C-alpha cells in the first residue's frame, strides 16, 4: 500500500514540498475534497499554502565526477585521522589501563553505531545524515535540534583543529605567533577553495590528504616498533596504570572519541556516489574497522616509546607522535612536527565538508535561511553553507584567542553534542527496525541488530554522565550546552517551525519512512479507540449515530492523492 501511495504522490509533479506547521505528530490524514481544477497542495492543519518550489539540489549531474567506495572510505580517513595524531593523549591522565578500557568501550560503540547507520543507509540513503532520519523517527523538533547540534559540533571541531594547526606552526617558527588570526583565515580559505571547486579536484585532494596522512601514520607505527619497550615505558610503575579508579576512567572517557569522531558523517555522501545503498555502507564499515586498528596501534606504540618525562609528559604534549618520528628519521623536533601537519589540516578539511552538507540539507527544508542552500553552477557545491559555517568557526577561533578558557572547554561541549546526536541515531535505528519493514531488505546486514544500538546508546549515555558529573569544572560545559540547546529550541518554536518543509531529497528518500511511522501510530490510536469504545458500551447503550462516529474514528489511513491534506506525518 505504501508503494502505491508514494507512486501516486510522486506522479503529481506539481507537488514539491510539504508545508509543516504546529501540528501534533499523531494528526491524521484527511480528504478535503477539493475540485480537481485547483493546484494540488499538501498542507498542514488549516494551511492553504501552495506547494513551494524547492531550491536547487546538490544532486550530482552526469558531467560531474562520481565518487566510488574507495573515495568514501578515504573521506572517512581524511575526516578522522587527525584525531589519532593529537589531543587523544590527554586521556592518559587516567592511567594507561583505564584509558585503554575507555578506548575499547568507545571503539566498540562506534563500530556498533556505524553498522546501524550502514544498515539504514542501505535502505534510506539520505544525504542529510542523522538529521533527516531523526526527523522521521523522533519528530521534527528533535530532528532540528540534532541537526543543529551536529552542525555546531563540526564547526567547533574545525575551529579546534585550526587552532591546533596554527600552534604547531608557531612551535616550528615563533614569529608566526603574532599573526595567528591570519593563519586561521588562511586555513579556512585554502580548505574552502578546494571544497567549493568541487568535482574531480575535490576527490583528488581528499585522496591525497587522506593517503598521505594514513601513510605517515603507518610509517610512525611500524617504524617505531624497533624502539618499543612496553614494560619500561608504558607501565614503569604499576600503581600509575590506573589513576583515581572509576572516577579517572569515566572522566577521561570522552577523550577516547578523538580516535573516531566524524566517521558517522559518511552517510551524508549519498549525493556523491552512483549507488549509495551499496557503496556507502561498505565504505563506512571498512573505514571504522580501519580506524579501530590504526587507533589501537597508535595507542600501544606511543605509550611504549621512551619519552622524556614519561607518561606524565606525554599526556600534555602538543604533538605526541614526535618522539617516534625523531627516533625513526633521526630528525629534529621541528621536522617531526611538520609530519603531523597534513593530517591536522585533513581533519579540518573533512569536517568543513561535513557541516557544509548538513547545513545545506537543513536549509533545503527551510529550517535554516534559504540562502544557505545556494550551490555552484558546475559542481553543485553548497558554497553558502560552507562559507557560513566557516565564518562561525572563525569567530570561535577569535573567542578562544581572547578567552583561553573557551579553547579548554570547546571539546567537551562538542562531544556532548556528539553524544546526544549518537543517542538520537541509536534510538532512530531501533524505531526504524521496529516500524519500517523495508529496512530488513537493506543492502547491508547489521550483525549486531537492535542489541548493538542499545549497547552504543548506553556508552553515549555514560559519556554524557562523564560530562555532567566528572569533569570537575563546576558544570560549565553542560551549562553552555544547555544554553545553546535552549536558544535553538526558541529559534525553532518562533521561526523554523512555521516555515519548515520536506525538501525534495526527503520526498525521494524518506517519504516512505514518514508514512510507515504515521501508519503505525494510526494503528495504535485505532486500537486505543476500539478499547475505549468497548469499555464505554458496557456502561451505555450506543446509538446509531454513536456507532457511526466511532467507525469514522477507526477508519484506515486515507491514501494520499493530489487533493489530500496532511495535518502532520
Q: Give every CB contact of residue 5 below 8 A, 6+ residues apart in sequence.
A: 515, 559, 560
| 22 φ/ψ angles, rounded to the nearest 5 degrees | -95, 30
561: phi then psi, degrees, rounded to nearest 5 = -135, -175
Q: Which three cell numbers stand for residue 395?
A: 569567530
334 exposure class (CB count in 10 Å sphere: 0-12, 13-18, 19+): exposed
Say how far apart CA 511 and CA 493 lie, in whole Å: 24
* Crossing angle of helices 276-304 and 96-123, rounded to 10°: 170
- Does CATH number 3.10.129.10 belong to domain 69-499? no
Answer yes or no: are the C-beta atoms of 113 and 425 closer than 8 Å.
yes
pLDDT, position 37? 38
Q: What is the DSSP string of 447-501?
A: SSHHHHHHHHHHHHHHHHHHHHHSS-STTHHHHHHHHHHHHHHHHIIIIIHHH-B
Q: Which of 118-127, 199-208, 475-484, 525-534 has the lowest mean pLDDT?
A: 525-534
Q: Which three cell numbers stand for residue 54?
A: 524547492
**Site of grid cell 578539511:** 349
Residue 273 in grid coordinates: 556516489
Per residue in 347-393, pLDDT (tens digit) is 999 999 999 999 999 999 999 999 999 999 888 899 999 999 999 99
pLDDT digits (tens, 9 = 90+) for 131-183: 878 887 888 899 999 999 999 999 999 999 999 999 999 999 999 989 999 99
More confident position, 437 or 520: 437
* C-alpha atoms less than 13 angstroms from C-alpha of 102 in its C-beta half-sphere: 34
DSSP, res 90: G
Alpha-carbon span 554 to 569, nearest angstrom: 18
Query: Closest by alpha carbon to 356, among 395, 396, 388, 393?
Result: 388
Q: What share of the chain has pLDDT > 70, as a percent?
A: 78
Residue 48 is predicted with a pLDDT of: 33
pLDDT band at 520 (very low <50, low <70, confident <90, very high): low
Measured CA to CA, the distance from residue 336 to residue 497 in angstroms comes to 51
In the block, which residue shows the cell 619500561?
232
In the chain, list all ranges with CATH 1.20.1740.10: 69-499
What pLDDT is attached to residue 550? 36
Q: Match 579508579 to its residue by C-alpha cell.
A: 245
Q: What is the tally of helices (H) and strands (E) in the chain? A: 20, 2
Per-residue pLDDT at 508 exceeds 80: no
**Which phi and psi (to 5°) does residue 116 adopt?**
-65, -50
Query: What is the three-class DSSP state of 566?
Result: strand
Per-residue pLDDT, averaged over 482-507, amounts to: 89
Q: How far apart are CA 344 and CA 159, in angstroms?
A: 12
Three-state secondary-structure class, residue 132: helix
Beta strand residue intervals within 330-429, DSSP E: none
Phi, psi for 307 (deg, rounded to 5): -95, 135
Residue 510 pLDDT: 62
Q: How much of the chain is helix, strand and coil, in % rounded to 5?
A: 70, 0, 25
Alpha carbon 50 to its chain centroid, in Å, reads 33
> What is the chain's mean pLDDT, rounded?
81
Give residue-wise pLDDT tens across range 383-430: 999 999 999 999 999 998 888 888 878 888 889 999 999 999 999 899
Q: How many of the other CB atoms lie within 10 Å of CB of 173?
A: 9
Measuring CA to CA, how many Å separate 95 from each of 92, 252, 305? 5, 9, 16
Q: How far apart are CA 414 and CA 97, in angstroms?
A: 25
- The neighbouring-strand residues paired with 29 are 566
Give per-residue pLDDT as tens, 14-62. Answer: 333 444 443 333 332 333 333 433 333 333 333 333 334 444 444 444 4
Grid coordinates standing for 8?
501516486
**SS3 annotation, 315-352:** CCCCCCCHHHHHHHHCCCHHHHHHCCHHHHHHHHHHHH
User: How much is the average pLDDT of 472-476?
Assistant: 79
Amino acid at each position: 500500500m505504501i508503494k502505491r501511495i508514494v507512486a501516486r504522490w510522486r506522479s503529481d509533479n506539481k507537488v514539491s514540498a510539504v508545508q509543516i506547521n504546529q501540528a501534533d505528530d499523531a494528526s491524521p490524514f484527511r480528504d478535503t475534497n477539493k475540485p480537481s481544477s485547483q493546484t494540488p497542495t499538501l498542507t498542514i492543519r488549516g494551511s492553504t499554502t501552495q506547494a513551494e518550489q524547492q531550491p536547487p539540489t546538490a544532486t550530482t549531474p552526469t558531467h560531474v565526477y562520481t565518487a566510488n567506495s574507495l573515495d568514501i572510505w578515504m573521506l572517512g580517513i581524511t575526516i578522522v585521522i587527525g584525531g589519532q595524531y593529537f589531543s587523544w593523549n590527554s586521556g592518559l591522565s587516567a592511567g594507561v589501563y583505564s584509558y585503554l578500557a575507555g578506548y575499547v568501550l568507545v571503539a566498540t560503540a562506534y563500530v556498533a553505531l556505524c553498522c546501524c547507520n550502514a544498515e539504514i543507509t542501505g535502505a534510506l540513503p539520505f544525504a542529510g545524515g542523522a538529521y533527516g532520519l531523526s526527523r522521521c523517527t523522533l519528530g521534527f523538533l528533535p530532528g532540528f535540534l540534532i541537526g543543529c547540534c551536529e552542525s555546531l559540533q563540526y564547526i567547533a571541531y574545525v575551529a579546534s583543529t585550526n587552532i591546533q594547526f596554527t600552534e604547531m606552526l608557531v612551535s616550528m617558527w615563533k614569529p608566526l605567533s603574532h599573526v595567528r588570526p591570519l593563519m586561521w583565515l588562511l586555513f579556512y580559505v585554502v580548505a574552502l577553495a578546494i571544497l567549493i571547486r568541487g568535482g574531480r579536484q575535490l576527490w583528488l585532494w581528499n585522496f591525497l590528504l587522506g593517503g598521505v596522512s594514513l601513510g605517515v601514520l603507518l610509517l610512525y607505527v611500524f617504524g617505531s616498533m624497533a624502539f618499543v619497550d612496553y614494560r619500561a615505558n608504558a607501565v614503569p610503575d604499576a600503581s600509575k596504570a590506573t589513576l583515581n579508579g572509576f572516577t579517572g576512567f569515566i572522566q577521561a572517557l570522552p577523550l577516547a572519541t578523538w580516535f573516531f569522531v566524524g566517521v558517522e558523517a559518511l552517510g551524508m555522501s549519498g549525493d556523491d556516489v552512483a549507488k549509495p545503498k551499496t557503496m556507502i555502507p561498505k565504505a563506512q564499515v571498512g573505514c571504522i574497522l580501519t580506524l579501530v586498528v590504526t587507533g589501537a596501534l597508535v595507542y600501544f606504540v606511543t605509550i611504549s616509546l621512551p619519552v622524556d618525562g614519561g607518561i606524565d609528559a606525554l599526556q600534555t604534549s602538543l604533538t605526541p607522535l614526535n618522539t617516534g618520528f625523531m627516533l625513526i628519521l633521526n630528525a629534529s623536533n621541528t621536522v617531526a612536527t611538520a609530519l603531523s601537519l597534513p593530517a591536522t589540516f585533513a581533519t579540518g578539511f573533512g569536517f568543513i565538508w561535513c557541516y557544509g552538507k548538513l547545513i545545506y540539507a537543513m536549509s533545503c527544508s527551510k529550517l535554516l535561511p534559504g540562502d544557505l542552500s545556494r550551490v555552484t553552477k558546475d559542481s553543485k557545491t553548497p558554497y553558502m553553507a560552507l562559507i557560513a559555517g566557516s565564518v562561525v568557526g572563525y569567530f570561535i577561533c577569535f573567542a578562544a584567542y581572547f578567552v583561553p578558557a573557551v579553547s579548554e572547554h570547546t571539546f567537551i561541549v562538542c562531544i556532548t553534542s556528539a553524544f546526544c546526536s549518537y543517542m538520537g541515531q541509536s534510538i532512530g535505528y531501533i524505531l526504524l527496525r521496529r516500524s519500517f519493514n523495508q529496512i530488513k531488505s537493506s543492502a547491508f546486514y547489521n550483525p549486531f541488530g537492535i542489541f548493538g544500538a542499545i549497547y552504543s546508546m548506553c556508552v553515549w549515555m555514560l559519556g554524557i554522565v562523564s560530562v555532567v558529573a566528572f569533569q570537575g569544572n563546576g558544570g560549565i560545559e553542560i551549562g553552555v550546552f544547555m544554553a545553546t540547546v535552549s536558544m535553538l529550541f526558541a529559534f525553532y518554536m518562533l521561526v523554523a517551525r512555521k516555515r519548515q518543509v520536506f525538501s525534495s531529497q526527503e520526498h525521494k528518500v524518506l517519504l516512505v519512512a514518514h508514512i510507515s511511522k504515521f501508519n503505525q501510530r494510526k494503528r495504535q490510536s485505532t486500537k486505543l479507540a476500539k478499547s475505549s469504545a468497548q469499555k464505554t458500551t458496557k456502561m451505555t447503550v450506543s446509538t446509531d449515530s454513536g456507532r457511526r462516529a466511532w467507525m469514522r474514528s477507526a477508519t484506515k489511513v486515507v491514501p494520499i492523492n493530489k487533493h489530500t491534506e496532511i495535518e502532520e506525518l
